[in-house]
């Protein structure tokens, strides 16, 4: 519709007063439906001129996860976004997904299976090498295997820097949806590859902002029924709900909150605690400790969950500006 296109252009123009945030997105898509919701949020923010999506990769061992990402990007009119996947050190929960294979086989995409997707680390190195120094915001909403492998990577044809130095030079911030902080405990993402979580949290050379489990309880996704049946995000939620057999209509917004913070920062949504650092135990248990020289911070709820849900749902159902409608 013409009026909707005009509205999106106006929003993009307003957001354009600030440069769009360059985002690299690492996800365990397939294990839960909120990963698909987070991709929808990211594209909605890109359509508004608030974000620029540099690339994505899956840390999930599911062979269809990268293709599912590519299908989502294609629906939103950005099939050019490079998509990688975890290769080599395959860790994580079982490979089954209630929706990744369906998206890969029933929605347009270039990959179909993980075999056609490049290695996540090689992809990240290639993208980072081309970016301005200290410009990229990394968003991780799954286990941290890909990021650990990136830190361990050596020089290659894309950069003479090793992984740690490349990240230090090119990345501005890591936003991680992984731990449980208030109270301390085990976040599911950290449990899946606790060794990688410990290594990344201890050695990541830029500031990290954690979006912990306790701020993720805005229930979203119920309004996806207002979108076309051809929307792969709607289908991902439908299949995930059906497979769990509990009659859910909404899902928590764990991954969505991390994306929203990465682009819009605190806004009216959260406050930030920066008086210490996160310690991750061998089993993935995490707790906040005094650490005056730490670059760690974590988000604390400010906006009521029902109000935050309305913000997120409105973004999630926003029609693609340049893709299918």
What letter does residue 144 receive in the DSSP assignment?
S
Res. 7: pLDDT tops 50: no
The band of 323, judged by pLDDT with boundaries at 50, 70 and 90, is low
pLDDT tens digits along 118-160:
999 999 999 999 999 999 999 999 999 999 999 999 999 999 9
Res. 212: pLDDT tops 80: yes
Within a domain: 323: no
150: left (phi over 0), alpha (psi -120 to 50) or beta: alpha
82 is in which domain, residue-wise? 2-316
Alpha carbons within 13 angstroms on the beta-carbon side of residue 219 total 5
Within a domain: 221: yes
What letter does residue 161 receive in the DSSP assignment?
S
Residue 84 and residue 15 in contact, taking contact as beta carbons nearer than 8 Å = no
Q: Which of 58, 15, 18 is nearest to 39 (CA)?
A: 58
Residues 281-296, mean pLDDT to the nearest whole number: 94
Within a domain: 194: yes
Within a domain: 197: yes
pLDDT tens digits along 9-44:
444 444 445 899 999 999 999 999 999 999 999 999
CATH number of the domain where residue 197 is located: 3.90.245.10
Q: Which two tokens stand for residue 72?
A: 């989502």
Q: Which of 260, 241, 250, 247 is nearest to 299 (CA)?
A: 260
Within a domain: 205: yes
267: left (phi over 0), alpha (psi -120 to 50) or beta: left
The band of 292, judged by pLDDT with boundaries at 50, 70 and 90, is confident
Within a domain: 324: no
Within a domain: 57: yes
Tell me the sheet residues that pair with 286.
185, 280
Within a domain: 85: yes
Mean pLDDT score of the chain, rounded to an integer? 91
pLDDT computed for residue 1 by the predictor: 37
Task: Kindly tell me the burial class for residue 1, based on how many C-beta atoms sit within 10 Å of its own C-beta (0-12, 13-18, 19 or more).
Answer: exposed
pLDDT computed for residue 306 by the predictor: 98
Residues 80-109, mean pLDDT to the nearest whole number: 84
pLDDT computed for residue 61 by the predictor: 86
Residues 288-300, mean pLDDT to the nearest whole number: 93
Q: Which of 272, 303, 314, 281 is nearest to 37 (CA)?
A: 314
Total tally of structural domains belonging to the chain: 1
pLDDT tens digits along 271-286:
999 999 999 999 999 9
Res. 4: pLDDT tops 60: no
Residues 317 and 325: their CA atoms lie apart, in Å, by 11
Q: Which of 84, 91, 85, 86 is nearest to 127 (CA)?
A: 84
């Amino acid at each position: 519709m013409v009026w909707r296109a005009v509205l999106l252009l106006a929003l993009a123009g307003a957001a354009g007063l600030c440069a769009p945030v360059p985002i690299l997105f690492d996800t365990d898509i397939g294990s839960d439906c909120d990963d698909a919701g987070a991709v929808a949020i990211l594209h909605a923010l890109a359509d508004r001129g608030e974000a620029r999506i540099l690339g994505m990769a899956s840390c999930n061992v599911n062979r269809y996860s990268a293709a599912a990402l590519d299908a989502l990007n294609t629906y939103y009119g950005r099939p050019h976004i490079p998509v990688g996947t975890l290769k080599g050190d395959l860790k994580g929960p079982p490979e089954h997904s209630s929706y990744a294979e369906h998206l890969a086989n029933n929605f347009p995409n270039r990959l179909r299976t993980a075999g056609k997707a490049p290695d996540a680390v090689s992809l990240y190195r290639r993208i980072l090498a081309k970016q301005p120094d200290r410009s990229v915001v990394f968003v991780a909403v799954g286990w941290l295997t890909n990021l650990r492998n990136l830190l361990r990577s050596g020089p290659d044809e894309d950069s003479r820097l090793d992984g740690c130095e490349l990240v230090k030079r090119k990345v501005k911030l890591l936003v991680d949806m992984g731990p449980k902080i208030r109270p301390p405990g085990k976040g599911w993402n950290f449990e899946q590859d606790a060794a990688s979580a410990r290594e990344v949290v201890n050695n990541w050379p830029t500031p990290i902002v954690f979006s912990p489990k306790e701020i993720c309880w805005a229930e979203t996704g119920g309004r996806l029924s207002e979108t076309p049946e051809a929307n792969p995000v709607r289908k991902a939620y439908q299949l995930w709900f059906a497979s769990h057999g509990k009659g859910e209509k909404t899902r928590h917004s764990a991954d969505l909150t991390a994306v929203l913070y990465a682009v819009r920062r605190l806004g009216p949504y959260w406050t930030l605690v920066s008086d210490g650092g996160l310690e991750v135990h061998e089993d993935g248990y995490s707790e906040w400790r005094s650490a005056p020289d730490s670059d760690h911070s974590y988000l604390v709820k400010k906006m009521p969950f029902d109000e935050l849900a309305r913000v997120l749902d409105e973004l999630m159902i926003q029609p693609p500006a340049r893709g299918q409608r």
